[in-house]
Structure 1
Amino acid sequence: MVRTPLTPEERERGERLGRLLREARGGRSMAEIAAHAGLSAETLRKIETGRAPTPAFFTVAALARVLGLSMDEIAGRCALAGV
């Protein structure tokens, strides 16, 4: 299956998500947060750096739970401009 390329706006949304997660993680290690969320540290690294700009809903929900973020906050801070 060929995936449709992401738009620049979708890439920016992924970068905003990554920044938000890094900020929320604070001084906690990537490995610690990933383990509590049931992810690999590499998956979290890709999300935080924008290399995985469209993570699955349940991945984001697990990270939100571990980091104490609401899904509304994540959606609001990462929404595409003009949407």
Structure 2
Amino acid sequence: MVRTPLTPEERERGERLGRLLREARGGRSMTEIAASAGISAETLRKIETGRAPTPAFFTVAALAGVLELSMDDLAGQCVLVPL
């Protein structure tokens, strides 16, 4: 299966999601948060750095739960506003 290239907007949304998750993690270790969410630290690293700009819904939901973030707020903050 060939994956369609991401648009610049999708990449920006992924980078924004990564920043929000990294900020919410604060001083807690990446390993601790990843383990609590049931994902690998490498997966979390890729999401936080924007290298995985379209993580699975359940991955984002698990991270949001561990970081005590509202999925509605997270989605709202990742919406790109046209210039």
Letter in 2 for 1:6: L
Q: Which runs of 5+ in 2 are unaligned?
A: none
Match in the other structure for 2:59: 59
Q: How many residues end up aligned between the 2 structures?
A: 82
- Give the share of equivalent positions with the same residue, in percent: 87
SS at match of 1:48: helix
CA distance in 2: counterparts of 1:48 and 1:81, whole angstroms:
21
Match in the other structure for 1:26: 26
Structure 1 length-normalised TM: 0.96
Structure 2 length-normalised TM: 0.96
Give per-residue Cα distances to partners, 1:46-73, cap 9 Å, x unaligned. 0000000000000000000000001001
Matches within 5 A, 1:38-77: 38-77=38-77
Quote the offset at 1:79 in angstroms.
1.4
Q: Over aligned residue pairs, what C-alpha RMSD do you find? A: 0.7
